[in-house]
Chains A and B, each alone.
Chain A
Amino acid sequence: MKRKVLIVEPSEVIVEGLKVALQHADLRILEPETSVENLGVRLDLHKPDILIINPTLNDNVTEMRNGRNLAVVALVYQYIKQSRLRHFDAVVDIRDSSSSILQMVLDLSTKSSSGDNAMSNHELTRRETAVLVEVAKGLSNKEIASRLNVSVFTVTTHRKNIVRKTGIKSVAGLTVYALLNNLIDEEVVI
């Protein structure tokens, strides 16, 4: 089934660009909103699976999710305090490449369709976990990109999200995290 995406962003140019980036057989882009005025109504009426919203309009993720099975993505193009982005399921930066933005949104949709996203703001997506495992093994972004068959940009975006969600910045720290969560065996760590 196609995942429904609602974009809430005041800039028409950015909305149009995002719509192009998100052209994919598994996604259906709903009529965008330029403000949060009708957001509650739209969420109830059209039941989007993914909400992509400019956090300067609203960063209260709990209120937006409000029991709905909804992944909430922050759309940023300026400096925003990390603490305001903490509750979002993912952060899309408009300076990321189109393909990495698309990949991130597709990853989200597989997760929300699995149904258990109660803890989603802390949990890593499947793709992020895959990247984390390679990071913990000591591979470079370039090596990870070629192994997972994605662009280096996509890998950097995933890494930013991993750091944001876990609060762990160093490779050594991420390796410990991966070991504690049984994502890798000690033998693979170099």
Chain B
Amino acid sequence: MTDYFYTANDNLSALVTEHPELLLTLSHFDMPLGFGDKTIAQVCHEHDVEPDFFLLITQVYCNDSYVPAQAVIKSTPMYNLVPYLVRSHDYYLNRRLPHIKSHLAKIASLLPKRAGNAIKQFFDAYVGEVEAHFAHEETTVYPHITRLLTHQHGDDYMINDYLAHHDNLEDKLSDLVQIIFKYLPTGETDDDAIDMIFDILQLSRDLRKHSLIEDKILGPYVKLLEKQHTAR
């Protein structure tokens, strides 16, 4: 059927060995490590994940230029999509961002007060934006999907509104990296700063993949549902 780079009968460990960045995806699927030599299909079934959906996500995650055909979007069961996105949000908000924040607080405490405060405020404002972005998706976009799936009427919202205003969450992280390694008035904080830059770059990469999943899977999928809904 679909020409994925791995199939459901391949070992999950082979896939993750080749693409270690997928470890995060596994955690967003709530699949623990220690999967031995089980195939992708086996691990998926154990955790109530649709193997085709899992492969679709990994394909988008590992290959930036991959755009799923409409037939693929149509034929792939999507019941894991919203839970997957919600769990990713939770991971960013409750794990990664607090982790970076505590790193940043440590660095800021070694800086002149004014510089330290400026950086902390910048980061807090950024976290606020990320929260608002995710909250909009969870309170507006995802309920819209539920309404479409349960054929409820009276929903004026269209996914195009969302896609048109889908802002980029990585720009400010890249600004923070630039500020830290180019303009921080210090020398003593180097080790911490380098650790933190790696953390930020990693988060930034993962957020970009997250947007790709929203643009290439969520967007087309909801458009399809809207079309079916109008046709009824």
Contacts from A to B (Cβ < 8 Å): 166-170, 172-173, 175-177, 179-181, 186
Contact = CB atoms under 8 A, between A and B. Distances in A.
A166 B117 contact: no
A180 B171 contact: no
Interface string B170-209: 0110111011001111000000000000000000000000
Nearest to A185: B114
Contact of B118 (A168, A169, A170, A180): A180
Contacts of A180: 115, 118, 179, 183-185
Nearest to B111: A180
A106 B186 CA distance: 35
Nearest to B172: A170
A168 B179 CA distance: 8
Q: Which 10 A-B pairs have the closest CB atoms?
A: A173-B175, A167-B178, A179-B118, A168-B175, A176-B118, A176-B122, A170-B172, A169-B171, A180-B183, A170-B175
B92 interface: no
Contacts of B84: none
Main SS of the interface on chain A? helix
Given A168-B178, A175-B122, A180-B179, 17 more contacts: A166-B178, A167-B175, A167-B178, A167-B182, A169-B175, A170-B172, A170-B175, A172-B125, A172-B126, A173-B122, A173-B175, A176-B118, A176-B119, A177-B183, A180-B115, A186-B117, A186-B118
Nearest to B179: A176
Given A170-B172, A180-B184, A180-B185, A175 B118 contact: yes
A64 B184 CA distance: 31
Contacts of B122: 172-173, 175-176
B171 A170 contact: yes
Nearest to A168: B175
Interface of B: 114-115, 117-119, 122, 125-126, 171-172, 174-176, 178-179, 182-185
A186 B114 contact: yes
A179 B114 CA distance: 8
A181 B175 CA distance: 15
A170 B183 CA distance: 15
Main SS of the interface on chain B? helix
A87 B157 CA distance: 47
Nearest to B178: A167
B118 A181 contact: no
Contacts of A181: 183
B178 A179 contact: no
Contacts of A170: 171-172, 175
Contacts of B185: 180
A99 B37 CA distance: 68
Contacts of B184: 180
A57 B173 CA distance: 35
Contacts of A186: 114, 117-118
Contacts of A169: 171-172, 174-175
A46 B118 CA distance: 47
Contacts of B115: 179-180
A2 B126 CA distance: 47
24 contacts: A167-B174, A167-B175, A167-B182, A168-B175, A169-B172, A169-B174, A170-B171, A172-B125, A172-B172, A173-B122, A173-B178, A175-B118, A175-B122, A176-B118, A176-B175, A176-B179, A177-B179, A179-B115, A180-B179, A180-B183, A180-B184, A181-B183, A186-B117, A186-B118
A167 B122 CA distance: 16
A170 B176 CA distance: 10
A186 B126 CA distance: 18
A173 B126 CA distance: 10
A122 to B, nearest CB: 9
Contacts of A166: 178, 182
B187 to A, nearest CB: 15
